[in-house]
Structure 1
């Protein structure tokens, strides 16, 4: 019995020591937040968020960390202190003798940690109950050192509402905060709220409202790459629904290129790649084979759809649609894939026009598994009008006559492809120029030690894929 008690005591002591180490790590973040508040340099905030992921996991495994932080940092007369301590099942450790400066940066950072903890422990109701207080608190502050923290807090407020299916209740608050952030020139919060609103509209299938928002707001040019990628992805989805496939394709490619190339972005890259495949098929193009090999995740449904479109086999397309219907609906691409039926038929007609110089409409109807000769005649006529095939229809005798194939260099296609490449190169050059950063004339001279520290941080940011946040 004594041995078991000793083991329990040792485990308890080890747990307390681990909790104290995590608390010290959070306290070091407080020092950086205080520096950011005094110097108005958001790079200190970026340093805090660079360690946010590992810290999030540690807090989840140690229930006493956040209650202890709240008990130590929040003043005794704070009205919300007791309510926050009730959110946790564990009691805090003994109060520390250290004195903390209770500045807005530290206060909102603690609230952010609480939000993440409640989300990770699936306490969604408590997370949503905390949101009104946080919104009121953020509206009372006007400090540029809070921009990054507020942007993240808004994300978790919106996420909590999304998980409960309550999308409408948060819209007015988001729109009001978007106006406030725009007036305050709060770039980070503005970019974050625009993406949250677009996601909100798309989840509730309010495409027209999402389109109106895009027309009336200006997305900040110097926003973080992760937010830019998300914005372009939502823009691509809006344009795709509105049949503007060329603009949608440009946006989804920009989203893939702007996305952080880290493991955390794998889910986003998969969703963007799936949307890109569907848009390319709707444009009449066939995605390259490496697209399906180079991306992790289940792309088999989209590979089979591509195969059906490439073969022009309507029967096979219907089988694929029936088999993977649930997967397409989960990705929210089902309605877009339903539009591919016309592309499958057009591809089939193109293959037939290349194989036969002359073929009856009845044979086309049989080969493509269409309903009737009348519908076949209409589809072939539309394909000729759209420039899918070069042919003529003899309506009296009921056959299609293919024209001679012209040299591709005698058409406008090479010129259009060359124009696309030039536009991409110019866009890449403009983005590179915009992303360059120069020191201010009145910037203080920094010591050699600080230069070395900045170089170490820069190398760390490059390795972890967080260079955008560092800049």
Structure 2
């Protein structure tokens, strides 16, 4: 059966006539489902139909036709046209209609991402995909399949601040474990790009310790970055993994990360020369992993740690003495490091420019200001809310017949080996 002129007109009439209320939309959805194979078969001839529909009014029908039109591979020239069509549709489509066919909406949005990558212009997809995932979400606690797609575009376009906007949400609802893995990994990289290392550690930790039966590329890359960020932020790294980490990760992660574990050993000694020698000997491996920038931050952080140790011993010290103690190239470089640490709040000190002396001070924060009290109060309120939420989830799970039945059998394992096909290495 071919989609002739009469059937095209009939299709448009059905979409236009059944886009009024929810009962009509359910009827239209059934009609479009039955016509789905036909729409895909005739996809090259459907593009003009989009001009006869209003995407804000006929969103469901427009979505099915748009899905059919983009189902086949398209050349780069045609991708530009589809990017405009899909971006406009995402911005104006009716939420209640696209949620009647979420799988179609997700499929179109993923093709949109592929098209902007084909055009080598990932920044064009950032705002539309953010709008798309917000429309698809039933609540801010839900993780959709579009979350990792959006974060990937943020990474490739270096729109880190935009990516942070969804990482602030507390996620409690996850449909697919794979989405959570990618969300945490890409989110961790975005936090690294913004130097929000505490949040980055939390997200990367989730990837490393999550259930897996086969070690995956994404877990290995997350472990390497977890090591580096731990050294930068905490000044240390524990090679022991928590007990709840999968046996696959326990057995294999260290084998894939030997140069990084060597870096940990050298960092622990506090000797800059040894650390720099380790970096030089493994430089090619760090470059291949796109981690050399982070490794350089690790080296810089050791200078900071060594300067911080001096504050525990001395009240005043000359810039030259600081340079000699931590192996810097003279007082000018020492001054640069001290000024940067003062600015970032790593130490409290003043520099006398006249005689080149540094005076180390106590932390001025007394935790009695109105701003600090408000910050502490909001943190307590959030912790109480999260505790209440987790208690409720635990009670629901303990009464769930499906969970109780599965708990009596062997625990299901997820195979995440397909992560080897997703991007894992980025220059940040």
- Please give the TM-score of this superposition, normalised by the length of structure 1: 0.49
Q: Deviations over 1:201-224 (max 9, x none)?
A: 112212233234556xx5653123
Offset at 1:125?
6.0
Alignment of 1:293-332 (within 5 A): 294=251, 295=253, 298-325=256-283, 327-329=285-287, 331-332=289-290
Q: Taking CA–CA contacts closer than 8 Å with sequence separation of 6 or more, which of the two structures ends up with the larger relative contact order?
A: 2
2:234 — aligned with what? 284
Offset at 1:200?
0.6
Alignment of 1:10-29 (within 5 A): none
Alignment of 1:379-418 (within 5 A): 379=337
2:219 — aligned with what? 269
Aligned partner (choices 152, 160, 173) of residue 222 of structure 1? 173
Q: Deviations over 1:244-290 (max 9, x none)?
A: 33333333334444x44232x62222222222222211223311133
Counterpart contact for 1:181–1:187, Cα < 8 Å: no
Pair 1:240–1:437, CA change in 2 (3 A): same
Offset at 1:341?
3.2
Aligned partner (choices 323, 345, 350) of residue 303 of structure 2? 345
2:413 matches 1:464: yes
Q: How far apart, CA to CA, are the structure 1 residues paired with 2:171 and 2:308? A: 44
Q: How far apart, CA to CA, are the structure 1 residues paired with 2:164 and 2:293? A: 18
Aligned partner (choices 197, 207, 211) of residue 150 of structure 2? 197
2:136 matches 1:177: no
2:160 — aligned with what? 207
Looking at CA atoms only, which structure, 1 or 2, has the larger radius of gyration?
A: 1
2:17 — aligned with what? none
Q: How far apart, CA to CA, are the structure 2 residues paired with 1:363 and 1:372? A: 9
Q: How far apart, CA to CA, are the structure 2 residues paired with 1:270 and 1:428? A: 31
Q: How far apart, CA to CA, are the structure 1 residues paired with 2:123 and 2:347? A: 47
Q: How far apart, CA to CA, are the structure 2 residues paired with 1:329 and 1:310? A: 23
Q: How far apart, CA to CA, are the structure 1 residues paired with 2:42 and 2:34? A: 10
Alignment of 1:142-157 (within 5 A): 142=97, 146-147=101-102, 151=106, 154-155=109-110
Pair 1:465–1:211, CA change in 2 (3 A): closer
Q: How far apart, CA to CA, are the structure 2 residues paired with 1:330 and 1:261? A: 25
Q: How far apart, CA to CA, are the structure 2 residues paired with 1:145 and 1:436? A: 31
2:390 matches 1:431: yes
**Residue 261 of structure 1 aligns to a residue in which SS?**
coil
**Residue 303 of structure 1 aligns to a residue in which SS?**
helix
- Please give the TM-score of this superposition, normalised by the length of structure 2: 0.53
Aligned partner (choices 189, 192, 206) of residue 240 of structure 1? 192
Q: Deviations over 1:153-192 (max 9, x none)?
A: 745663575477442454454245335324xx38899622
Counterpart contact for 1:313–1:345, Cα < 8 Å: no
Q: How far apart, CA to CA, are the structure 2 residues paired with 1:179 and 1:358? A: 54
Q: Deviations over 1:116-172 (max 9, x none)?
A: xx9xxxx8969x96x959969997994767546754674566357547744245445
Q: How far apart, CA to CA, are the structure 1 residues paired with 2:203 and 2:283? A: 26
Structure 1: 5+ residue runs without aligned partners? 1-72, 85-103, 403-419, 441-450, 467-471
1:335 — aligned with what? 293
Q: How far apart, CA to CA, are the structure 1 residues paired with 2:133 and 2:392? A: 28
Pair 1:149–1:307, CA change in 2 (3 A): farther
